[in-house]
Structure 1
């Protein structure tokens, strides 16, 4: 699912790290897919990206597409801008989403919709993809939306 632009222009464009470690995540987001790391020898899921498996210490860590659905594990509603481009955009909601299809790993993201909406721990959410095709280079952000919300 894609969404209209949620964030205002003027923020720095996210790009893959120079070492290329997180490039598969950003490439997947451009395709509308949520990609996370998975160790090839032991099957451990992990986030954020690392060169080594957190469980078995193997360097044979790959990337796998996962279902972009999860549950809100935690959240906060910041009222202060964390960047000058967000000066008049507060409040906004940041959620920590637990992904049951990836052994419960957790990812941060914005919760789209009314910034004053009621947020419930355990609420089901789905990934929404916000493409920025005019950016140099183009990128896509992953946000979250409560399932069943308008």
Structure 2
């Protein structure tokens, strides 16, 4: 069962392919984050150069799909026609301790009116869309 309704645009790595390792990782249920080999800095979102040292020597590394809620937003207004009648839903900003606390955004699964504890522990949940063209997987978050 899909958390989000059908009809939303299919996510992709884009023409430049910069985030391809991330999307390939989600299909294998692996959370991949960029890592600079020069200064050992983790970063998200993906960039061609390191945010800290401007090196082009970046890599993608798997990190544990465990995080901490830094912030959240309960979304009541649809941001896409496919979301009409679907709200509310909760978007969380999750810190990843295994990657120097870089932050990424995702949906929080469960009751859309639940209390959301700042500092609460969450784990990644991979939602696969194997029959889509092209196939893809999304990362959502669930309170632990």
Asked if Structure 1 and Structure 2 have the same fold, meaning a TM-score greater than 0.5 normalized by the shorter chain, the answer is: yes
Q: Distance in 2 between matches of 1:11 and 1:17?
A: 16
Note the residue ranges of structure 1 that are not aligned, 5 or more in a row. Answer: none
| Structure 2: gaps (5+ residues) | none
TM-score normalised according to structure 2 size = 0.99
Distance in structure 2 (CA, Å) of the matches to 1:132 and 1:115: 22
Aligned to 1:67: 64
Cα deviation for residue 5 of structure 1 reads 1.1
The aligned counterpart of 2:130 is 133
Aligned length: 144
2:116 aligned with 1:119, yes or no?
yes
Where relative contact order (Cα < 8 A, 6+ residues apart) is larger, the structure is 1
**Structure-to-structure mapping, 1:81-92, within 5 angstroms:** 81-92=78-89
Q: Is the aligned partner of 1:99 residue 2:96?
A: yes
Q: How does 1:37-52 map to 2 (within 5 A)?
A: 37-52=34-49
Which has more strand, going by share of residues? 2
Q: Name the Cα RMSD after superposition.
A: 0.6
Counterpart of 2:139 (choices 110, 118, 142) is: 142
**Counterparts of 1:55 and 1:21 in 2: how far apart (Å)?**
18
CA–CA separation in structure 2 for the residues paired with 1:17 and 1:48: 13
Cα displacement (A) at 1:17: 1.2
Would you identify which runs of 4 or more consecutive aligned residues in structure 1 move more than 4 Å?
none
Distance 2:100 2:27 in 1: 24
Report how far residue 41 of structure 1 moved.
1.3
